[in-house]
Amino acid sequence: MPLSPRFEAAVAWACELHRTQVRKGTPIPYVAHLLGVASIALENGADEDEAIAAVLHDAVEDQGGEKTANEIGTRFGARVRDIVLGCTDADVIPKPPWRERKERYVAHLAHASESVLLVSASDKLHNARAILSNYRTIGEELWSRFSGGREGTLWYYRALVTAFEKRSSTPLVEELSRTVTEIERLSR
């Protein structure tokens, strides 16, 4: 499926929105994550709206809340906006407490659309791969980057795998499960 100028516009806007962000504890530009999530989603059958949502999946949470959600709807349509909102665990500042947000996010996956599941699982796989890679490089120091620390982060990713598996067993979910299992194994 060829991507249209809409996708290019989403990438350009994501670069603008996240220009000053880097990945937690690294000098890596945040846009690398957004492009990685879009790549995983496309490799797992995403259509253009889902790919655009993948590129913008953190825009509401990190770059403006409801105002940004409305702008996504205006620029890219209601379906893209709804997918992004389905991947957002908080759209207010300050964010609610970490554990509360994560429990609510995991619970909402039971009723999320297939499009939200695809983009969310792509996001979580990209994050899990980064956690695994960084753990192999810096070890236990990694956990200080995360609000949930070691135990909370491990709980969250296992809970995500369980929630995704309850909905469907896809190659994407299976890869997420394998990656999380490897993180758990190494961090014992």
pLDDT digits (tens, 9 = 90+) for 32-72: 999 999 999 999 999 999 999 999 999 999 898 899 999 99
Can you give the pLDDT at residue 94? 86
Q: What is the mean pLDDT of the chain?
A: 96
177 and 161 Cβ atoms separated by less than 8 Å: yes
pLDDT at position 56, please? 98
CA distances from 100 to 74, 104, 106, 107, 133 (A): 31, 6, 10, 11, 27
Residue-wise pLDDT for 85-119, tens only, equals 999 998 888 889 999 999 999 999 999 999 999 99
What does pTM read for this prediction?
0.96
What digits encode the pLDDT tens for the residues 110-125?
Answer: 999 999 999 999 999 9
Taking the mean position of all CA atoms in its chain, how far away is CA 41? 11
> In the predicted model, is pLDDT for residue 164 greater than 90?
yes
Give yes or no for residue 167 having a pLDDT over 90: yes
CATH architecture, domain defined by 5-186: Orthogonal Bundle (1.10)
pLDDT of residue 59: 96
pLDDT value at residue 75: 98
Give residue 177's pLDDT.
Answer: 98
pLDDT at res. 95: 87
